[in-house]
Structure 1
Amino acid sequence: MSKPAKQAIGQQILAAFRAAGAIEVAPDILLPAETLLDLYGEDIRARAYVTQDPIRGEVMLRPDFTVPVVQMHMANGAEPARYCYLGEIFRKQDHGETQPEHPRDNEYLQAGFELFARDSGADAEVFALFHSILAPLGLQATMGDMDLVMDAVRALPVSDARRAALLHHVWRPRRFARLLARFAAAPAPRNFAETSALWTGLRSPQEMQARIDRLQADALEAPLAPEWVARLERLFAIQAPAPEALRQLRAMTAEIPDIAEAVERLDRNLALLSDRGVDVGAIHFDASHGRHTMEYYDGMTFSFTAPGRADWPPVASGGRYDALAAVLGQAQGRAIPAVGGIIRPGLVHELGGLR
C-alpha cells in the first residue's frame, strides 16, 4: 500500500474532524521520554523506540498523540476545545527473534480527534462522530467503561494497600487475576529473620524496611470472601448488546452498590447516542473492554473492529482520560475532562475506503 493512498484517506478523515469543529495540530515526532514513561510506566519502553540525546537526555519516537496534545492544550488552550491531527506513530509490534509471516507495521498513520469539555454529552459526541465517519465500512462498535470497573474494584472489602495493587494491575488481566486469587487465599506465613548483616541493594534501608512492614501487614489480613471474587468475575464477564448489558449491570448494583453511578452514566450516554441517530442495539458492550486498551483511559472506552479480521488491531479506538488530563495540567493548575480517539487510515484503505 502506497503512502499517498493512506495519506489521502487520512486527509478525508481529517476533513470530517475539522467539519466537527476541530483545530488541526501537529505535535513533535521526537518527544521527551521521561513524561511518557512516568504516565505509561516502564511497559511502554518495550514497545517504543527510545534513544539518547546528549543534550535532551532520553527521547522517544512518538508512540501516541494524546500526551503531546494534552500538554499543548494545558499550556495555552481555551475551553471547550476540539483538536485533530494526522501523522505517524512508532511502536514495536512483533516480539520474539524471528519475523512473523505477516508482520504488523511499526510505523503507521493515525488520524485523531480530542475533545476537552465539561459537557456531560462529550462521550456521546465523540462516539457518534467516529460512528458517522466509519459507517460505510460496516464495522462492529464495542463500548466499555473503566470507571465502572474501577468502582467495582474500589468497593472490595480489602486494605488500602491491596486495593491500590489491584487498581494498578487492572489493565493487566492475567496479573490482576493472580493477585485477586492470592488475596482470596489464606496468607502464606512470612519469616523475616533478624540479622546483623549489612543492608545492601539499590534501595535504602528505610525503603527495604517499609517493604518488609507492608508484607508483614499483608500476611495478617483476612482473605477476601469468595462471594466478592465471584461478583467481580461476573461483572468483568458481561458482554451483550448495550441495552441488554445495561439491564445486567442494573441487576448487579444490588450486589455492588458502588457501580450504580457509573451504570446511570452509561444509561445517559446510550440515550444521548440514540438521540444522535446511533442504533445502540448494534453496539456491543464489553465490561472488560477498557482493560485491553491504553492505561490512561478511565471512563468510557470504545473501538471499531472489522468483522472477519481477528488478526487486525481495531480500525478505530478511543475513550475518556480525565485523570491523564489532570496530571498533565498540574503545572498550570488546570484540569478539564477529556475524551478522544484515533482512526487508522491504512486499515480504512484496506477495507475499500470511506467512499
Structure 2
Amino acid sequence: MTSREAATGRLPWDAADPFPFYEQRRLEGSVVWDDDIGAWLILGYYAARQILGGPGWTSNPLANPNAPRAVRAMDPDIVRRNILTVDGTNHHRLRGAVRDVFTRTFITGLTAGVEAIATETIDHIPAGVEFDFMTDIALPLPIAVAAAWLGLDVDSARLLREESPAISRMLGDFVDPDTVESGTAAFATLLTEFLPLAADRRNRCGDDLLSFIGADPDLELDDVVTMALIIAVAGHETTANLLGASVIRLLTPGPDGVRPIDAIHTIDSRLFAELLRLDGPIQAVGRTATRDHIVDGVTIHATEPVLVVLAAANRDPAVFTQPDQLQPDRAGPAPLAFGYGSHYCLGAALARLEIIVALQKILARRLTFCGNPIWRNTPAIRGPLTTPAVFS
C-alpha cells in the first residue's frame, strides 16, 4: 500500500492515554503522514490553527475520496444539515440561526438556571456514600441543561438521554459500520420525535432554544431539528467527558503527594482554560484539502485528508512550557480544544459555565476517589467511563 491509498482509518493511539503516541510522532515533525489512519497528522499548534482557520479545507467527510467504506455509506442528507460537517454559505446559514444565543453575554444570563440544575444534581448525593461520578453527576448535568433549554417535557428528555450515546459514538467514529448504523438509527428516532415539536414551536414560539431556532425562516424543519440535536448531543457528551477528566486531574496527587484541588480555592476561567488544554475530550477533527497547501514546510495536496490532533497541539512544547503540567495561572494562547476559526465550538461558553459551576460545588463538598477511574475505549473522544467517588 502506498502512503496515499485508503487505510483502515482507525485511530492508533491509546484512548485512555494518547499523549505518548502524540509525542513519539512529534519527533518526526509537526505534520506527519500516518499509514494506519491514511491521513496527515497535524500535531503542532500553529499548523493546526492554519488549517482550522484558513481557506482551502472542507469538514465534509464525504470529500475524502479514500474515506473508509462506512464514511462513504453515510446519508448525504445528514451531512449537509449537520453544522459540524458543512462549510461556506451553508455553514454560515446554520450557524447564523443560533449565533445570538451562544454569545458569552447571553450564556451568562443562564447562570442561575445552570446553578439550580447543578445543585439538584450534586446535592442529592449524601456524604459518605460511594457513587459513580460519571453516571450520577457528569452525564446527567449537561443533558439536563440541554433538555431544559430546549423546553422538553419528561418523555422527550428521556428519549434524548436514551438515544444520545449512539449518536455520540457515531460522531466520534465514522469508520465502524455498526457504529454508523446505530447512530443513524438513533438520529432517525429523535428526528421523528422532534419534528412535530419543532413545527409546533414554529407556530407558537416560546422562549426556549428550539423555538428560537425554529423561528428562523431560512431553515427547513429538518434543519431546525438537526441543529437542536447536534447542539444537545455533542454538547452534553463533550461537557460530561471534560468534567470527568477535570475531576480526575484535580484529585490525582502529584509526585509530591499533593492533590491540585487542595491548593485551589476558586474555579475561574483561567483554570478552566488549563483543564481544557490538558484534557479537552475531542482528540482530533478531520479536514480534507480542497487545494494544495504548504503546512509547516510540508506539501499537502488537494483531496488529501488531515487529522488536526487538537490534544497534541494543546501540548506543543514550542508554545507551552512544561506542556504536560497543570499550571492554573498559565498565560499564553488559548487552547484549541474548542476548535478555531469558523467551526469554533458554538457551545464553548455554555460548557465553560457548566464546568465552572459544577467544579465549584464539587470543591465545596470535598470529593475524594474510592477506586481507580476506568477510561472509555473511544480514541476520538477521550473521557472516563466510570469514576468511583465519595463526598466527605
Q: Does TM-score exceed 0.5, indicating one fold? A: no
Q: Choose between structure 1 and 2: higher strand proportion.
A: 1
TM-score of the superposition, structure 2-length normalised?
A: 0.26
Which of 1 and 2 has higher RCO (CA within 8 Å, sep 6+)?
2
Higher helix share: 2
Instruction: Say which one has the larger Rg.
Output: 1
